Chain A
């Protein structure tokens, strides 16, 4: 069994009277893609925002490589090796690709100048080009191009490669294929597999079951703030997962499917 990288224990979070997370626990192991499924409003985004330090949980514990941690800010999460690509785009459109790739972790000269330190532009550009090459999009993209000139798929690829570059242990993707075309969606999914093969663990949030069966090793289903099922992809099928998500009784359909 692969080593555990991230463990969440009994996370709870309420927004006023809305209990977005009731008692969520899950484990993520080294080098696996875990899909987090659930209808809109199930609490998926809330769960990953708690892990990535956007807001604190009301109750519950987070362990990274077996050690209990406290994540109070996005910076804490990044320092623990947790990189998140949020649903609402995580890039600044008016900045170049290179500047976006290193946002918040800029290479600088004269570091003692703090925020006034000059960016190491040569290093920035070189590292950005190398990264774009590594992820196989260097031919199409120029590190100096503004993000506002990129397509949705290209932006997702940039965001994912940014997460990879800091050798993050855990990469979290919140609905990365939303609003993307078919081509671009396949590109992103292929990318997810490459990320896993490079040794990162991936938590993939989506409500597209078909994507899950293409890339995930395990499936975790959330409903109304709770985790209601956990299965390996090899041991389940599309219809079963669908019925768990909606909570509908699909046994009749299942029987029909099995009969075939």
Chain B
């Protein structure tokens, strides 16, 4: 992992001492160091932290928020964000399951309908933000209420039993396999694959250049002929689709689709992204940082319980650790600007 962070960060810079020193000051690297420290602290404090069972548990949850965080990273880099992801995470499986159970629709067709729904939600977010010019905070906050409300209304507030017959789609989204005494879900492959794709997009593809430029200075990008509005609309769509995908994965894994699933996920996901070093103000995004951030929040939530912090107190710790990370990034950023 260290090697991966090193190599990828060095690609972009001229190789050599300069590239390396720039890497050591990069936000994703400082997040990575802190992640290692946290893991070490938890491992020392409680031997169960690194047990196969516990690691398997963490890895089961990780992709569900992590996949959304990938989309959110790209969106934040372009200077926008999406508060409706948690609600979409809840609505998509509920709609799919209602179609299957009450409508007698084939599961494949129902999944396709769920995908269309996510695309529509993302497109509406994107169109209102770019064409009418309302801030994404307000637009997606309203969308959160609409989507969550829809999920509650169509289910009358009751959770649905999810699809639990084994088959192609369940295996595809929520199958599991064992490596030694570790139990992993296929969702981990989804997360790894999508992460690699997102790294490619942001660092190496033309699109990534546009995304960073739009978030850094939208007018400059537009003046160079970059279609800023279309890029943003597609990023809103991608984020919604990823949220829906994560929702489906979760629903299949636990064999239930709850209309309140994903409540509060939007803030957890944004925390993962900014803790990883992506700037909330746009222009500077790092997928590696987001992966580190996702691992960190997962580890914190899990480790804090293990080391015996009372359940009701644990958000205090999560909040403080996030705050400390952000202060660290801000100080590093200030230093970099001065140097």
Contacts and interface: CB of A to CB of B under 8 A. Distances in A.
A50 to B, nearest CB: 14
B224 A103 contact: yes
B310 interface: no
Given A108-B206, A117-B205, A93 B14 contact: no
A32 to B, nearest CB: 24
Contacts of B12: 96, 144
Contact of B206 (A86, A119, A142): A119
Nearest to A102: B209
Contact of B212 (A54, A94, A104): A94
A74 B220 CA distance: 11
B205 A104 contact: no
B225 interface: yes
B14 to A, nearest CB: 5
B171 interface: no
Given A94-B212, A103-B226, A144-B14, A116 B201 contact: yes
A117 to B, nearest CB: 5
B217 A92 contact: yes
B206 A115 contact: yes
A149 to B, nearest CB: 8
Contact of A74 (B204, B210, B224): B224
Contacts of B209: 95, 99, 103, 106, 119
B312 interface: no
Interface in A51-89: 52, 54, 73-75, 78, 84, 86, 88-89
A115 B14 contact: no
A142 B18 CA distance: 11
B216 A92 contact: yes
B219 interface: yes
B210 A91 contact: no
B164 interface: no
A91 to B, nearest CB: 6
B225 A74 contact: yes
Nearest to B206: A106
A126 to B, nearest CB: 12
A148 interface: yes
A115 B226 contact: no
A246 B212 CA distance: 43
B219 A86 contact: yes
A118 interface: yes
B289 to A, nearest CB: 14
A180 B41 CA distance: 51
Nearest to A117: B206
Contact of B213 (A54, A73, A75, A103): A103
Given A86-B219, A104-B221, A93 B210 contact: no
Contacts of B324: none
A93 B218 CA distance: 11
B134 interface: no
Interface residues on B, range: 20 to 34
Interface centre among A91, A92, A118, A119 (most CB of B within 10 A): A92
Nearest to B227: A75
Interface residues on A, range: 35 or more
Interface centre among B213, B216, B220 (most CB of A within 10 A): B220
Nearest to A147: B216
Contacts of B201: 116
Nearest to B224: A104
B72 to A, nearest CB: 18
B215 interface: yes
Nearest to B218: A92
A14 interface: no
A105 interface: yes
B277 to A, nearest CB: 13
B206 A116 contact: yes
Contacts of B46: none
Contacts of A105: 224-225
A119 B226 contact: no
A114 B230 CA distance: 14
A94 B220 contact: no
B192 interface: no
Contacts of B13: 144
B207 interface: yes
Interface string B267-300: 0000000000000000110000000000000000
Contact of A103 (B204, B205, B220, B337): B220
B44 interface: no
B24 interface: no
B212 A95 contact: yes
Contacts of B212: 92, 94-95, 99
A90 interface: yes
A26 interface: no
Smallest CB-CB A-B distances: 4 pairs = A104-B224, A94-B283, A75-B225, A92-B216
23 contacts: A91-B217, A91-B220, A92-B213, A92-B283, A94-B212, A94-B284, A95-B213, A95-B216, A99-B212, A99-B213, A103-B209, A103-B221, A108-B206, A114-B206, A115-B205, A115-B206, A116-B206, A116-B207, A117-B206, A119-B204, A119-B209, A121-B11, A142-B14
Given A100-B213, A103-B226, A119-B206, 10 more contacts: A90-B219, A92-B212, A94-B215, A94-B283, A103-B224, A116-B201, A118-B200, A118-B205, A119-B209, A144-B14
Interface of B: 11-14, 200-201, 204-207, 209-210, 212-213, 215-217, 219-226, 283-284, 337
